[in-house]
Amino acid sequence: MIAVIDYGSQYTQLIARRIREENVYSEIFPHATLAKDLEQKNLSGIILSGGPSSVYSENAPQIDKNILNMKIPILGICYGMQLLIKNNDGKVLHKGHGEYGSSEINKVEDSILLKNLTDPSQVWMSHGDEVDELGNGYRVTARSLTGVIAAIEHENELRYGVQFHPEVIHTIKGQEIISNFLFEISSCIPNWTAK
């Protein structure tokens, strides 16, 4: 099972659907969910959704830091990636402009998350803030054509992030990215159906 933690993205339901389309069960949880609640679920992985807030805003939804200490893979999407960086002594900034709509990214390092992605690859961006400094242990695996950090992964832990939205059809190889997270990283077994 994959837990999708909801940070207010209009695409949260779509993330859960994309996982289920791969015959893996998923459930959506509110952002206030605690690690102790997730530990009872026998999870294979966690996805942190996007959201409209800035991670540094006073009332922005946060994450129980104990979730980040769980020994299972985590994928942060957009706001979710920025949360990973904020909790890793990195920096997320608003530089006066964002990226909205169709964009292209280029891989800069090999990554199992981006396996089988074309280069460049068309993605769907929707963010005002961007990662400026990664903090400890993360490396950049892809950048947008404007140089924005588009994908990251941790060198020692199963922590991954993408600044774009792999769950929408406008990201051409988005389902491959989700599949890579489910099967190559989280070792899910595709044996779930709605029936």
165 catalytic residue (yes or no): yes
Kindly report the average pLDDT of the chain as a whole number: 90
User: 78, 127, 153, 188: which one is catalytic?
Assistant: 78
78 catalytic residue (yes or no): yes
In this structure, of 3-12, 15-24, 107-116, 128-137, the range with the lowest mean pLDDT score is: 128-137
- Please give the pLDDT value at position 54: 84
pLDDT tens-digit series, residues 126-147: 656 777 778 888 999 999 888 8
pLDDT tens-digit series, residues 53-64: 888 888 899 999
Which has more pLDDT, 4 or 103? 4
pLDDT tens-digit series, residues 89-127: 888 887 666 566 688 999 999 999 999 888 899 998 865
User: 99, 130, 167, 176: which one is catalytic?
Assistant: 167
Instruction: Return the HEC string of 43-96.
Output: CCEEEECCCCCCCCCCCCCCCCCCHHHCCCCEEEECHHHHHHHHCCCCEEECCC
- Please give the pLDDT value at position 136: 85
130 catalytic residue (yes or no): no
